[in-house]
Amino acid sequence: MKVHRYYIATCQICSLFPCRCLVVFVSAGVFCLVVHGDVLADDGNAACDDNMGLGYLTAPSLSPGHILKPSSLFVLSTFGPEGSARLDFDVHWTNIWNYEPDEYMIDGELICNNVRFTYALKDTLSVGITVPIIGRTGGFADPLIEGFHNTFQLGNANRDEFPQNRSLMSVQTNGGSHTIAEGDSWGIGDVSLFMASRISAGNGVLPAVLVQGQISLPSGNEQELRGLGAPSLALSAVASKRMGGSPLILFGGLGFQYCPADEIAGRELHKEEWAGLAGLEYQYTPSLSLIAQYLGSSPVAKDYYAFSDPTHEVSVGFKWRITRYTTVEFAVVENILIFDNSADISAHLGFGWNL
């Protein structure tokens, strides 16, 4: 049986004019920051930890497999002075077309919003709560993607044989085709409680080390694929090290998630998930960093086509501390190595406020 492949998201990014406008706008903002970098660098309120910089991008995996089983790894809180509080809001958008004839179809756009509140018990210890708001829509991008592919004769992996801008998730069972979810849908996902600690700030030899433990509660609607239907536990650790006195910071991490839910729509899932993070931060000023990072995740399903393959995603973007109270980050996410289990295009945007 022939498996229809994804097409590399870089080509599709060029076809999404609204997204291109956003990228141009953000790029213009970064250019202005670079031009006025000396001013930002002199802002004493924007000082950063020597080995931590501004930190990695909080862009999660948005592969189709993680729509079935969301991942909560590597969302470490930002540390502040004892008694301080912080509010973060991030948006993750992706367009997905994943089709295996006579087996399954995932078509639509996914928007994952996270509202995260963090309170600093100590300078090095924080606790908080994350409330995800998950939406599935038909979106707007299908005509642009198909038009681009037709223009350059790239093919559309059969997506042009079906209605555009619809939201549908279906699988083939012994009784025939079974629709898991159809149409626009919004709701709260699995709410999570977390505790994060900065074990070490590092020094000239050793890296800074951050760890986080997180428990997710089954508050999301399992039938609408907004929750796992069972509690999950996630542990993450990230180390970062500045290269000498340069603006370059290397970082890497390891994460583990366990959930007793082992089946969705008749498909057997792994209870455990492992993930690895690696990347490079270029801290142009104490307030502005350009970041490139890789996120690899273990397979979600035990024996189900592309869902049984690991995912490999690269995020490229920036993090900017606008003031001592406000930060913003933006990234475009691209799948590499295995294209059968990726989104067509993904983007990440996050805002943070020190209260």
Q: How many domains does the chain have?
A: 1
d(CA 253, CA 295) in angstroms, rounded, equals 9
Asked if residue 338 is part of any domain, the answer here is: yes
Determine contact, residues 206/200, Cβ cutoff 8 Å. yes
| Average pLDDT, consecutive stretches of 10 residues, N- to C-terminus, the chain (355 residues) | 35 37 41 41 45 88 73 71 93 83 79 93 93 86 72 69 75 66 84 93 91 91 79 92 93 92 76 93 95 91 81 93 93 80 80 93
Residue with tokens 């509690």: 231
Asked if residue 112 is part of any domain, the answer here is: yes
Asked if residue 158 is part of any domain, the answer here is: yes
Asked if residue 4 is part of any domain, the answer here is: no
d(CA 347, CA 355) in angstroms, rounded, equals 26
Domain of residue 269, residue span: 9-354
Asked if residue 284 is part of any domain, the answer here is: yes
3-state DSSP of the chain: CCCCCCCCHHHHHHHCHHHHHHHHHHHHHHHHHHHCHHHHHCCHHHCCECCCECCCCCCCCCCCHHHHCCCCCCCCCCCCCCCCEEEEEEEEEEEEEEEECCCEEEEEEEEEEEEEEEEEEECCEEEEEEEEEEEEECCCCHHHHHHHHHHCCCCCCCHHHCCCCCCEEEEEECCEEEEEEECCEEEECCCEEEEEEEEECCCCCCCEEEEEEEEECCCCCCCCCCCCCCCEEEEEEEEEEECCCCCEEEEEEEEEEECCCCEECCEEECCEEEEEEEEEEEEEECCEEEEEEEEEECCCECCCHHHHCCEEEEEEEEEEECCCCEEEEEEEEEECCCCCCCCCEEEEEEEEEEC
| Torsions phi, psi for 99 (to 5 deg) | -135, 125
CATH number at residue 130: 2.40.160.40
Asked if residue 240 is part of any domain, the answer here is: yes
pLDDT value at position 129?
Answer: 94
pLDDT value at position 77?
Answer: 64
pLDDT value at position 153?
Answer: 64
pTM score of the predicted model:
0.79
Asked if residue 1 is part of any domain, the answer here is: no
